[in-house]
Structure 1
Amino acid sequence: MTTQDEQAALALLDTPDCALFLDFDGTLVDIAPRPDEVVVTPELLAALGALQGRLAGRLAIVSGRPIAELDRMLAPLVLPAAGVHGMERRGADGVLRQLPAPDFTEVRTQAHALAARHPGLWVEEKHGALALHYRQAPELQALCVEAMEAAVRTSLGLLLMEGKMIVEIKAAGVSKGTAIRDFLTEAPFIGFRPLFIGDDTTDEAGFDHVERVGGIGLKVGPGSTVASSRIASSQAVRELLARAAVTSTIGKDPA
């Protein structure tokens, strides 16, 4: 059963005014114990490819993952994308732009030391970000947050964010909101109304921006949010995109 919020998202997708921005983990795919274990279905790839065509290229992935990982997961599609929460971004022109990364020395040292003492933890390093995962040791959440907060306090230009079973440290002043903002200044996105779908705290900056410029933020799952709309699950997102890919009139030749 389609909810009122989903109907609003479908209605925007079926106008000539829409620019679509999508988070990846927890939004397009179900969250897995490790990032390399997520499943991207052929049906999802087909829906994304169809919508990319229907929207004349106005579809971008906005993720905490590096763009290279997104490309591997979504092959053979090569979509406009923002990776590492906006630290790297590839527009429709295909040019990859990377912002300079701040110094992660103290954060890296503390994260690896903590993971060495607790086998259930593992560290993921990216350009301009570091993530400490505790999905396999959820009882260590408080310890992870405390240790990373202490490391961030002695570092310049860093921001700590808590996500789903993860503590992530990234460059301050860069976010999914700034990434979407920058996309909206470029062709083919400029002048179009954004729809951003995401599920986690790192997506809130994206919701905030699209709502402020008259778009729609669609929050996946429970939890407080600045998004004006909500959808139940990543499965519901996949069904929504598949429906939009089939029913949208955008890009179709008139009968």
Structure 2
Amino acid sequence: MNQPLLETGTDVPALALFTDFDGTLVEIAETPDSVHVPNDLAEQINRITREFDNAFAVLTGREIADIDRFLAPLHLPIAGAHGSQRRRADGSMEEVDEELIAGAEEIARAIEPLAVAHPELLIEPKPGTVALHYRQAPELADACLRALEEVLADHPQYSLVEGKMVYEARPIGFDKGAALRAFMQEEPFIGRTPIFIGDDVTDEDAFRAAQELGGVGIKIGPGETAARLRIADVTSVRALIGGLGDLVHRAEPVLTETTAH
């Protein structure tokens, strides 16, 4: 049975909105640099940021610099590289430890021979993390997994995370859920009810964190999830964000209660 985010006639609480980027605000592309950003996306986000009294943040596997480039001229609160780097709402930065940066560089060098042998693979180094994309060569998924598992045996401070057509080496203790919790302890997020919208396995930590803090996770598309609500696709996300100023009347048509947990 479809269930609205808020019952008609209830008071809308002060909300804090968090979203993923790829697969949420924009469609997933063949390569990280080929993503298409709609011309009006930055304007729409700027508008909802004002409506939420600046309590809007992006939680992404990308670097902060990538999001700044795609959403220019906005300078949002962002947790990048799955939370291993974070820019607070006041603009101050929480940077990853230098040791973890060095570890990620070692991991990237160790898996480079695989990418050289298979140019369709893409290694994406980030501050403290490494992503190995196989979207253009799905038949190499097992080879990518084995290569990272072998390398990470010598890097116990890292964990292996699976995403959509990508494997990532991520420092243990850093994830989108931890990033969301950190934001919720700071202005302008503190005291608000968090909503997190995402599409991937790496978003599950943030779904759980938002719901444990009294808010809601919204999963895009099919698949098992901890999120309480589900939304169809990126187009529906844009419609939902566009209607959050009038949540009762605009959110209900595109949200359904999840049945798979």
TM-score under structure 2 length normalisation: 0.88
The corresponding residue for 1:93 is: 90
1:116 partner SS: helix
C-alpha distance in structure 2 between counterparts of 1:83 and 1:98, whole Å: 10
- Alignment partner, residue 170 of structure 1: 170
**1:215: how far off?**
0.8
Question: Amino acid of the residue matched to residue 53 of structure 2?
Answer: A
Q: Tell me what 1:208 maps to.
A: 208
Q: What is the CA-CA distance between 1:248 and the residue it aligns to?
A: 5.6
- Residue correspondence of structure 1 range 63-82 to structure 2 within 5 A: 63-82=60-79
- Counterpart of 1:148? 148
Letter in 1 for 2:200: D
Confirm or deny: 8 A CA contact 1:159 1:170 kept in the other structure: yes
Higher relative contact order (CA 8 A, sep 6+): 1
CA distance in 2, matches of 1:155, 1:49: 40
Partner of 1:42: 39
Q: Which deviates the most, 112-121 or 102-111?
A: 102-111
- State the match for 1:183 in structure 2: 183
Q: Which residue identity is paired with 1:97?
A: E
- Check whether the contact 1:124–1:131 (CA below 8 A) recurs between aligned residues: yes
One-letter identity of the residue aligned with 1:148: L
Cα deviation per residue 1:107-136 (whole Å; 9 max; x = unaligned)?
223321110111211100000100011011
Deviations 1:130-154 (A, max 9, x none): 0011011000001111111111112
The answer to whether the 8 A contact 2:26-2:35 is kept is yes
Q: Tell me the amino acid that sits aligned with residue 60 of structure 1.
A: A
- Secondary structure (helix, strand or coil) at the match of 1:19 reads strand
Q: Which of 1, 21, 26 in structure 2 is aligned with 1:24?
A: 21
Counterpart amino acid of residue 213 in structure 2: V
Q: Which amino acid counterpart does residue 35 of structure 2 have in structure 1?
A: V
- How far off its partner does 1:36 sit? 1.3
Distance 1:105 1:91 in 2: 25
Give % identity. 43
CA distance in 2, matches of 1:75, 1:10: 36
TM-score, structure 1 as length reference = 0.90
2:109 and 2:93 mapped to 1: Cα distance? 29
Cα pair 2:104 2:127 within 8 Å, conserved? no
Letter in 2 for 1:107: I
How far apart are 1:41 and its partner, in Å? 1.4
Q: Note if contact 2:41-2:71 (Cα within 8 Å) is conserved in structure 1.
A: no
Residue equivalent to 2:239: 239
Code of the residue aligned with 2:45 in structure 1: it is L
Does the 8 Å CA contact 1:104/1:155 hold for their aligned counterparts? no
Per-residue CA distance 1:211-254 (angstroms, 9 max, x = gap): 11111000111111111111111111112112225x369xxxxx
Q: How has the CA–CA distance of structure 1 residues 19 and 153 changed in structure 2, closer, same or farther, with 3 Å as cutoff?
A: same
CA distance in 1, matches of 2:119, 2:104: 22
Q: 2:227 is matched with which residue? A: 227
1:52 is paired with a residue whose SS is helix
Whether the 8 Å contact between 2:131 and 2:169 is mirrored in structure 1 is: yes
SS of 2:40's equivalent in the other structure is: helix
- Matched residues in 1 for 2:144 and 2:206: separation? 25
Structure 1 unaligned blocks of 5 or more: 250-255
Aligned counterparts of 1:184 and 1:87: Cα–Cα separation in 2: 17
Go from structure 1 to structure 2 and tell me whether the alpha carbon gap of 1:105 and 1:248 turns closer, same or farther (over 3 Å shift).
Answer: closer
The total of aligned residue pairs comes to: 243
**d(CA) in 2 for partners of 1:135 and 1:48?**
28
Residues 10, 244 of structure 1: 8 Å contact kept: no
